[in-house]
Structure 1
Amino acid sequence: MRFVWQLLAVAVVTMIGGQAVAAVEDSPWVQLVLGLLTSVLAVLVYGWVVRKTEHRPSTEVARKGAEAAIGRGMLIGVAMFGAVITNIAVHAHYDINGLGSVTGAVGLVGFMGAAAVTEELLFRGVLFRIIEERTGTWIALTLTGALFGAMHLFNPHASLWGALAIAIEAGGMLAAAYAATRNLWLPIGLHFGWNFAAAGIFSTEVSGNDTQQGLLDTVTSGPTWVTGGDFGPEGSVYAVLFGILATIGFMWLARKRGNLVPRRRADRLAATTTLPR
């Protein structure tokens, strides 16, 4: 039952907060405040429900070192998406017509912040972490990555390729980031940095969604395999390539640190754990 209670608790905050943030799209400063409030509330609720259902400190969202880990994740996310845009500019067309909207970018901080925090709590904090206990790291990474990609099939301009790309470059990479660090702050920062760079800086579509304009006024055109087409740069082969490389790097780090859970160990944990299910 701990899985059910944790999933429900975070899902309720996600649904209510997400709808509130989306409803004030035309008021960027309000959107910023609501997005930050949703993020903080989601972390608090997650920490509380984990402590209640697992009778342990919620170390994966411990405050110590949170700022540094989020900062590192944001830098990685922005740098990775910047590399994708650079390759699109070289091999297709990415034209900057001038400055876009500063206030639009402000609102996107709140919108993308709430999305990054709630999705990481759900998919890596609850789903990946608990499934990993039963199946091991690699199977949990594959299953939750596929589920994360499938969720994006409901987005505008969605396609099977777009969902597969998200499963590989985001679902796999973010789970690997959690496995490498055993805290949620790095994947949260990475998720936010990637999404904010896409919408808030480079003003492109995010997983098929058209968002308000970010800091730059831009136009993207060219072959779909390079640009991602209507789905946005996340459907680019370069996004998938960089996501695979990052996943390999994080999994190597997780192995080096002894953080990988093998299948046989997962079976023993499932057989011996006294935590409520």
Structure 2
Amino acid sequence: MSEVETVSGKPLWLKVWQFPLVAMAVALALMVATLAGTQQLFTVLPEIENAALDMIVRTVVGVGLVFVVYKLFVTRLGARKKDDLPARGSITDTLLGLLVGAAIFTAVVGVAAIVGAYRILGWGSTQDLLQIVLLTGVVAGFVEEVIIRGIVFRWLEEFGGSLLALAISAALFGFLHIQNDNATVWSSVAIALEAGILLGGAYMLTRNLWLAIGIHAGWNVTQGFVWGVPVSGNPFMGMVESGLYGPDWLSGGAFGLEASVIALVIATGAGIWMVWQARKEGHWISSMWSRK
């Protein structure tokens, strides 16, 4: 075999196939195909008469397919095979994440209430509970973390290091919400900073997805159901009926408290702490050209 056909003892085609950005592109294509296929499957599957059961079944099928494709294919891509959804720690890290996400957003609501930006107006209802838990908790928490942290962050970090991965994945995550109801450029920037850094930090700290999945789900369910705040611009009926008051920079306006400076300070601060802890524990990765 000629020198042109080999690189560092490996065939050139294998070297290209295992290159981080190529592996990332293949993994993203697999996930897009999985999500598109799931949507097509749902159009042909008969609806279950019980609406709640139908929603549960579709959630289990959709999330299950993403899980299976990730386990069977994504974990085998790239030069460094890695499974970010290990069985070990899946329950404890997810439960811890749920508590952390709930605590952070409760702190946001508490500060907003103190400064007069949030008020409880009365009791709400449980009519949206299942939708909030399944769509904003299970689906958003699991699928978005697999794609943004488990694919984008992972291979950007292997290519360009932790800082590049954190910056790009956070920006991508924030601006994926630009099409949401009541979204603005500012709300997307806010989510990029507060949630992008927080969830990226959780992934860096544990080197798996379970903590980030738990934080994501706990954050969404707590703000939507417990405190009755719009979830990334999407209004739901929560346990309480609430109102947001004051200038948009303080209350988040129609988008919700995620677009407030309160969430920006509290959640970003928590995220920076996680990144700092990850770096202290030796989980900071330099770019591939620096490693060479």
TM-score in terms of structure 1 length = 0.87
Shift of 1:183: 0.1
For the 8 Å contact 1:29–1:106, the answer to whether it is kept is: no
Aligned to 1:154, the other structure's residue is in SS state coil
Query: Which whole-Å CA distance do the structure 2 matches of 1:34 and 1:10 have between them?
Result: 17
Q: Where in structure 2 are there 5+ consecutive unaligned residues?
A: 1-21
Match of 2:249 among 204, 211, 225: 225
Q: Counterpart of 2:174 in structure 1: which amino acid?
A: G
Q: Counterpart of 1:10 in structure 2: which amino acid?
A: M
* Counterpart mapping for 1:226-245 below 5 A: 226-245=250-269
Match of 1:128 among 153, 167, 183: 153
Shift of 1:37: 3.3
Does residue 172 (structure 1) correspond to residue 197 (structure 2)? The answer is yes
Query: Which whole-Å CA distance do the structure 2 matches of 1:42 and 1:187 have between them?
Result: 17
* Counterpart mapping for 1:1-277 below 5 A: 1-15=22-36, 27-54=51-78, 58-112=82-136, 113-210=138-235, 212-263=236-287, 266-267=288-289
Match of 2:14?
none
Query: Which whole-Å CA distance do the structure 2 matches of 1:29 and 1:147 have between them?
Result: 33
Q: Counterpart of 1:148 in structure 2: which amino acid?
A: F
Q: Counterpart of 1:118 in structure 2: which amino acid?
A: V
Q: Could you report, residue by residue, the CA deviation over 1:2-32 in whole angstroms, capped at 9, with x for unpaired residues?
A: 2222112222334565796xx99x9344323
Q: Counterpart of 1:189 in structure 2: which amino acid?
A: G
Q: Which has the higher contact order (CA 8 A, sep 6+)?
A: 1
Aligned to 2:118, the other structure's residue is in SS state strand
Shift of 1:111: 0.6
Q: Counterpart of 2:261 in structure 1: which amino acid?
A: V
TM-score in terms of structure 2 length = 0.83
Aligned to 2:119, the other structure's residue is in SS state strand
Q: Where in structure 1 are there 5+ consecutive unaligned residues?
A: 272-277
Aligned to 2:176, the other structure's residue is in SS state helix
Shift of 1:171: 1.1
Q: Give the length in aligned residue pairs.
A: 265
Backbone CA RMSD of aligned residues: 2.5
Structure with bigger helix share is 1
Query: Which whole-Å CA distance do the structure 2 matches of 1:239 and 1:36 have between them?
Result: 31
Aligned to 2:84, the other structure's residue is in SS state helix
Match of 1:275?
none
Query: Which whole-Å CA distance do the structure 2 matches of 1:203 and 1:27 have between them?
Result: 23
For the 8 Å contact 2:190–2:264, the answer to whether it is kept is: yes
Aligned to 1:153, the other structure's residue is in SS state coil
Query: Which whole-Å CA distance do the structure 2 matches of 1:205 and 1:16 have between them?
Result: 29
Aligned to 1:197, the other structure's residue is in SS state helix
Query: Which whole-Å CA distance do the structure 2 matches of 1:69 and 1:150 have between them?
Result: 27
Match of 1:274?
none
Q: Alpha carbons of 1:221 and 1:35: their partners in 2 closer, same or farther (altered >3 Å)?
A: farther
Q: Could you report, residue by residue, the CA deviation over 1:236-255 in whole angstroms, capped at 9, with x for unpaired residues?
A: 11111112211121112211
Q: Alpha carbons of 1:200 and 1:41: their partners in 2 closer, same or farther (altered >3 Å)?
A: farther
Query: Which whole-Å CA distance do the structure 1 matches of 2:165 and 2:282 have between them?
Result: 17
Q: Could you report, residue by residue, the CA deviation over 1:33-81 in whole angstroms, capped at 9, with x for unpaired residues?
A: 4224322321221121123424776431011110100001110100011
* Higher mean displacement: 116-125 or 11-20: 11-20
Query: Which whole-Å CA distance do the structure 2 matches of 1:55 and 1:129 have between them?
Result: 12
Q: Alpha carbons of 1:73 and 1:32: their partners in 2 closer, same or farther (altered >3 Å)?
A: same
Aligned to 1:59, the other structure's residue is in SS state coil
